[in-house]
Every structure is written in C-alpha cells, then in structure tokens.
Structure 1
C-alpha cells in the first residue's frame, strides 16, 4: 500500500505533510503522566501502570522505566512506604505491574532527574505562553533576553492514585516531600461526577501561589481541559464534571540561582492522576 502512495506525487505530498505534522506534534507534546490500566481494583487484582508522554492525556509515546533517570519511585500505602525501584525493571514497559493485598488508597510517586533542552526564542515564548508562565516572559524581557534562546533544565514529579477495595484511606491526602508536589485535599475516591475537589500545590515545602494549574479529563475518546490559577495558599478547586481519568498538572519555572550547566532556567513539572466512575 505504501508503494502505491509513493508512486503518486499527490499522495507523496500528503504523506510527507502528515509526517511533518506528526513530528511537530510529538515535539510539542511534552507532558508526562502515570496511568493505571484500572484505577479501581479488587484486592490482589493486577493493574499495568504505564508512563506516557503526550499532551492533555492524549498519549504520543509510552515510556519504559528508566533507572538512570529515576531519582525515586515509591508506593505510599495505608501501612507505609515501599521503594518501587526494587520491582521495576530497567527499560521495561509497563513501568510496573501493581497489586495490593489490603484495601485502601495507594499513591505511586516518581521523581525524574534533570534533562536539558534549548529552544529558539519564539518557540520558547510559545511554550511559556501555552503553560501559563507569563511571569517568565516578563522576567526575560526585564533581563533583555526576549530574543535569546531559552536554555532550560527540567525535572518531573509524577503521582497517581489507585483505589483497592472499598476502604478510602487518609494517606491519599498526605504530602510526600517532592520538591514540586500536587496534593489532593480530598480523597478522589470519595467523589463522584458533579462533586468538587480541592488541590494544593507546594514548591520547596511552601504553597505555590498565583500559578497556572490545568485539569484534563479523558473519558473514552472525549478529552477536556480547563485552566485555573492557584490562590494565595496554593489551592485550586476543580469540579469533577466527567468520569474517566483525570490529570491535574502544572509547570513552575525559575531562574537558576546557581550554575545549571547548559541552562539559564530550571522548570519543575508536576502531574497527579486518578480515576472517577
């Protein structure tokens, strides 16, 4: 079939255009999130836990577990913490198969180490605008860097919540100490469609105020996104208006206060996923 397409100039043009669009979309799709094949498990039932990169819960690529890039990967249960790196295998997809022999809400938290990227000034500003980081655009203008390449290093702080059995446990609302952390102030598994949930964002242990926070919801093929701004206490409120998977996410960026190698800015990407039915 591909040979037939390449034999026709018109189809060659269409195919090249589609490939270019795919490359552009993949380059722009830079969010990571952890997704369980099932967020509602019976005791001892197994779920595949996967790491995706994409945009607004639309996956472009599934990532394997990368030991060299993973600073920590922990499970927080009603009974304590467990280092998931002892179970995860390097270069494996899914990153882990999860099951639990006790009822409760389980939190999996992963921290990925620094990566580096350099973008042309226009692309960097587009990215800052898309992620709600106008304060960085303002700071670059103040520093006379608006036309300068954006040199950035970034790290990721990813969490997912999985409900096992019927007991909704308080550890779902706990803070686990990530440098950037999104905390659910309500256990999402106590919520249903139509309810409201609160989340609080922390950076370096302090509430992160006046920053853009996004909530994505995917139910089958339907995806919706809304943007909020954290209040003075780092809190946002989200109406749970759909079932399926939810992703609460934000990016926080700051000027490097000390040498960052080949970067002038450092960003911290937070993501929290859970299910609603």
Structure 2
C-alpha cells in the first residue's frame, strides 16, 4: 500500500470514530447531471454545515451499497476491494434516466459526556430522548451511543429523470421524495416522507442544506404525524437533506442508544424562463 493510501486509511479510521454528534455524512456526485456514458466520480464526505473531509469507500465499513435504475437495485459492495479503500467510485451510466446510489455504513460506537450529549440531542431535535433521560434520572450520565449512516444521492443522466427517485431501499432510516427532485427548479417546493423501519416517522427534525457564495443555508422543519415534510428550496445547485432518529438499545447493556443518520443529496436546476 502506498503512502497516500496509508494516510487515507488512517484518516478513515479517525473520521469513522468521530462523534456522530457534530458530523453529517453524505455522498456527492461530480457531476450530478452527466451525459450518457460520461465518467462520474462518487465521493463520501463527513463534516459540518455541508462542508467536510473526503473519506474513502471501504468494504469493511460498508453494510450496503446499492445502485438503483428503473427502480431495480444492483449490489456494488462486492465490487469494492476487500482491503484497499477507494478515494472515489468512478462510474459510467449507460442509459438516460434517474440513478440512485444508496449507502449504509456499519455501526460505530461513541461515548459523550452528559453536557455534550445533551447539546447534541437538542441540536438534532431529539427532545423525546432528553425527556427519557430526565425521567429515568440519567440526565447527568454520559451518552453511550451506537450510530449508523444511511445515505442516498440522485443523478439525472442524459437530461432525463424517472420514478427511481422514489425507490424504497429498505434503509432503517430513509428519506423518500414525494415528487421528483430532479424535475424541480429553484423556487419550487419539495415534499419528503421519512421512514423508520419502513413506517412513517412523525415529529422528526429535518434539515435542508445548501452552500451559496461561501455561506451555508440551513432550513429546518418537522415531519407531521404522517412522516411528511416539505421545503421551499430557493436556489439552484446541490442540496442535502438530513435527519437523525434515536431509540433505546435493547440488545446489549454496554450501549444505551441507537442513532440513525439519514441523508439525501441531489442537484436542483435553475429557475426556468417564465416561471
């Protein structure tokens, strides 16, 4: 293994162990709207405010990596080298339409001090967990957490999109658009449904992120009883939708909470003339 790959593996190990509390995890495509047959670089990122570090695709950290086209999945985990992480996935899409890449990470564990855990819960809108800790008399105890990442990204190939944006991947925490994000433009409203264990997730704090002129815009909204939420997206370009859900752990005494981090990225077109 050369020095650059060694450094990347070390960086991945460090980043994988960072507290989920402060770090989003997302996937990007360059470009999001390629021509048929053109090369596309898929990358994973971890950081804050839709800005962060590149981390590799690693078979040891990948619970699932599925490519959806026409609503049908293809397993890509078996194509990852078993020992050498890839800085990016180089892909070529042979047909026009929507492609969706879905990644699930293996679980990681972290313990946070009580004050940091409380601040994290508050920031992610996990008020029910704060209340549970208080009612159990554990508000001053460290937060022992096991977290998992569930991310997706959408691509529009050959200038066309289709219903693959709505394919259900079976991710434990899943963000599903109710209409085609790739057919929308700046200024449109995008509806989403949040699912946890295949059931609509109510009262979840959802965030929409966008970078513009060196600054990060973040819009917040909560899902209704039906798990639905909507955002008015004012600008063209890359958008990230994120959400965190947490439940008590039931399978081990060494961890208190399971958290699930959902993420969806896509590119919004510019406003069309006359709109």
Match of 1:248 among 222, 235, 241: 241
Map 1:1-277 to 2 at 5 A: 29-59=22-52, 61-78=53-70, 80-89=72-81, 90-94=84-88, 96-219=89-212, 221-256=214-249, 258-260=250-252, 262-277=254-269
Separation (CA, whole Å) in 1 of partners of 2:168 and 2:72: 13
- 1:197, distance to aligned residue in structure 2 (A): 0.7
Separation (CA, whole Å) in 2 of partners of 1:206 and 1:54: 29
- 1:220, distance to aligned residue in structure 2 (A): 5.2
RMSD, aligned CA:
1.6
Q: Is the 8 A contact 1:116 1:262 kept in 2?
A: no
TM-score under structure 1 length normalisation: 0.86
Tell me the matched-pair count. Answer: 250
Separation (CA, whole Å) in 2 of partners of 1:244 and 1:231: 27
Separation (CA, whole Å) in 2 of partners of 1:193 and 1:235: 21
Separation (CA, whole Å) in 2 of partners of 1:45 and 1:228: 37
TM-score under structure 2 length normalisation: 0.87
Deviations 1:135-164 (A, max 9, x none): 111110001000000000011101000110
Separation (CA, whole Å) in 2 of partners of 1:259 and 1:176: 24
Q: Is the 8 A contact 1:46 1:98 kept in 2?
A: yes
Over alpha carbons, which structure has the higher Rg?
A: 1
- 1:101, distance to aligned residue in structure 2 (A): 0.8
Q: Is the 8 A contact 1:216 1:226 kept in 2?
A: yes
Structure 1 runs (4+) deviating above 4 angstroms are: none
- 1:222, distance to aligned residue in structure 2 (A): 3.1
In structure 2, the gaps of 5 or more residues are 1-17, 270-275
Q: Is the 8 A contact 1:78 1:170 kept in 2?
A: yes
State the SS of the aligned residue for 1:249.
Answer: strand
